[in-house]
Amino acid sequence: MRLSFESGMLCGLEAGEFFLCYQPKYAKNGRDMTGMEALVRWRRGGEIIPPDKFIPFAEANGMILKLGDWVLREACRQNMSWQLEGLPPLQVSVNISARQLRDNDFVEKVESILRETRLAPAFLELEITESAIMSVSDDIVLKLLRLKELGISISIDDFGTGYSSLSYLKHLPVDKIKIDRSFVMDIVSDRDDAAIVDAIISIAHALDLCVIAEGVESKGQLDFLVSRKCTEFQGYYFSKPLIAEHFADLLRMREGALTGCSAGGSTVKSRPQQRQELAVPRAPSLYFVGEKGVSPSSEPMMEVAQLIHPVSPQDRIINVLSRFQLDMDLKVLPVVEGGAVVGIVNRSTFLEEHIIGRHGFGAHINHSKKIRDLMEPVKFAFEAATPVEEAAKILQPMISTLRIDNICVTSNGAYVGVIDVNRFIKAMTDIQILLAKGANPLTGLPGNTSIEREICRRLESGTPFDIAYLDIDNFKPFNDHYGFQKGDEVIKSLAEIMSATAASSPLAEVTFCGHIEATISS
């Protein structure tokens, strides 16, 4: 069998006999998908060969380097293809062998594959077995740190089977530990396995690491793990590994009901039914009445927002550094937890105050810091349906002290984007131009268009109101006799009297003055 596999693997790889299946990872409710693991299979003739049958041979003969490169490239390509299709973005996990990790060009290969497939590093997680971590060296530590600098997540697979020193876990740039299925299998009935799983979860929480249990096959196992505050779950209880077409169907099926997403530990989740209010209360829509009928007075905030994939409070400083380094136009990163915006990381402040070095000792200090320690509070978050004009009115008094690119946009309290400064300013400029067209330059009062707009707003609100109409009779003969200059003085004086009277009224806050421009046809 060994000779058969060794001779057949290279030909099989070139012939396209290998393919990937994807097993979803879930939150404890079984509905919120937190990621997926790419698992390689070999279709040889009419038989599907599982990885435990051929991976050992690939490790032994060095074929694992070619096969590993193909798996990584295909997983990244497929993930990016789904994102371009409009499916919810998820982080894909790829298993990396010890031999791949020892390859001198490994980090460069990962970088090259990310560039080739155009997948953002935040959507890639590399799983390294605990046994591979046991052979840790300065060279491997530096490789892992470089991968973290790119923004890639690192997890330790099969944790608990390698008898590794916990001091390694403390100093390595790891994001997750994955409890081996051999411990999960009997946690309900075996006290020793239950104790081991308890200890692993406790260690993970103490080190601020996520912990995922694989091989979950029953509700009893799930209930046990949930009661111990395990972070994520994977196994046949939720879903078996699916071929790419079926996994895409699963994503499409869930897309209608599951609409939230977050990167770097990406989560597809349902919008919260109730959430503590984070946003400015939704403002009523205003309307213009023009030649084309009634239309919204300004774009909703959602139209001037850009989706910047957020980071998590638990992410390390290296993740954010990588995002800023890879995208020179990126000015701000929102920090999101449970769908809600909990903070902001500004590029200028972050790079100036928190970066002390990317290599050696400085890198070790950086990777141990968490974003929750560095983020700034969010001062404003507008609901997506809030009109731009209403948002501008609220922001106007503080425009000199508030960074516009720090303002988030939410939907029912859940993060959906950050204000695109250029689009926001353009929308406001368009509104001001439109309003200027309706103003009278002589009196300074709003003109016909603005009067119609204000009347429509009050009609829509359902609030009773009165209209006082002042008509200047025989004004054309006055102009003809005394000249247009005198006529303008009269109009301006009347406008000043009306404005002063309105300002002194007890109803000054709701009083509105305008100037109707009449056209007299000869």
C-alpha radius of gyration, the chain, whole number: 31
Q: Distance between CA 417 and CA 381 in Å, rounded?
A: 10
pLDDT, position 218: 92
Predicted TM-score (pTM) of the model is 0.54
Residue 216: closest CA among 181, 251, 267, 165: 181
**Phi, psi angle pair for 151, to nearest 5°:** 100, 10
Whole-number Cα distances in Å, 320 to 109, 138, 333, 350:
22, 24, 8, 9
pLDDT, position 130: 75
CB distance 113 to 72 below 8 Å: yes
End-to-end CA gap in the chain: 103
Token couple for 382: 């507008």
3.40.50.920, 3.20.20.450, 3.40.50.300, 3.30.160.270: CATH of 2-255: 3.20.20.450
* pLDDT tens figures, 417-455: 888 777 777 776 666 655 555 556 566 676 666 677 777
Residue 172: closest CA among 140, 205, 127, 131: 140
pLDDT, position 392: 77
Task: Provide CATH 3.10.580.10 ranges for the chain.
Answer: 287-430
CATH of domain 287-430: 3.10.580.10
Helices (H), 85-163: 98-102, 106-117, 130-134, 138-150
Task: Provide CATH 3.20.20.450 ranges for the chain.
Answer: 2-255
Task: Provide CATH 3.30.70.270 ranges for the chain.
Answer: 438-510
Beta strands in 300-426 (DSSP E): 305-306, 332-337, 340-346, 381-383, 408-411, 414-419
Q: Which residues, 6+ apart, have CB-to-CB distance to 383 below 8 Å? A: 279, 280, 281, 282, 301, 409, 410, 411, 412
pLDDT, position 163: 54
pLDDT, position 32: 85
Beta strands in 252-314 (DSSP E): 287-290, 293-296, 305-306
* pLDDT tens figures, 194-203: 999 999 899 8
Instruction: Name the CATH topology of 438-510.
Output: Alpha-Beta Plaits (3.30.70)
Per-residue confidence of the chain (522 residues) as pLDDT tens digits?
A: 555 666 678 788 888 899 999 999 998 777 789 999 999 999 987 888 888 888 888 888 888 999 999 999 999 999 999 999 888 889 999 999 988 988 889 999 999 999 999 998 889 999 998 777 766 567 788 888 888 878 899 998 878 665 555 666 766 788 888 998 889 999 999 999 999 999 989 988 888 888 999 999 999 999 999 999 898 999 999 999 999 999 998 888 876 544 433 333 444 433 333 333 233 323 222 323 333 333 344 567 777 777 788 888 877 776 677 677 777 778 888 888 877 888 888 887 776 555 544 444 444 445 556 777 778 888 778 888 888 777 877 776 666 666 776 788 888 778 888 887 777 777 766 666 555 555 565 666 766 666 777 777 778 888 777 787 787 777 778 877 787 778 778 878 887 888 788 778 777 667 777 777 665 443
Residue 411's CB is within 10 A of a number of other CB atoms, namely 17
